[in-house]
Amino acid sequence: MDDHFGTIRKILSAFEESLDKADFDVSDVSAERLGVSETRRRKMMEMLASEGYISGVSFGADGVTADNPLITTKGLEYLSKSAALPGFPAFGGKFPLGRRSI
């Protein structure tokens, strides 16, 4: 079973680390680096963008394009909560990225 939230944390961490760099290194969120398929990487990044965790990315036929990509305050909050409670998805029991509690 894939660790979806681990992949989300990796993506958000790469965006957070880029705050200290002049340019965003897209290889930091490559499918290979994340250990997932390109299709999964794209869909996860689309979810993160649509939920407001990252900005400055667009999605087209040629894949993911980054134009001044940033982690949002919502994304920083997610990282902060997930670091405080390892193994917990950091949504306060909610799963806004398409997953629902039963």
Whole-number average pLDDT of the chain: 82
Residue-level pLDDT at 97? 47
Q: Where do the DSSP E strands lie in the chain?
A: 54-60, 63-71
pLDDT band at 43 (very low <50, low <70, confident <90, very high): very high
29 found inside a domain: yes
Residues 6+ apart with CB under 8 A from 15: 24, 29, 54, 69, 70, 71, 75
Q: What is the pLDDT of residues 4-18, one digit of tens each?
A: 888 999 999 999 999
Domain coverage including residue 15: 4-84
Amino acid identity of 78?
A: Y
74 found inside a domain: yes
Provide the domain count of the chain: 1
97 found inside a domain: no
Report the CATH number that the domain containing residue 26 is assigned in CATH.
1.10.10.10
20 found inside a domain: yes
94 found inside a domain: no
51 found inside a domain: yes
Residue-level pLDDT at 81? 87
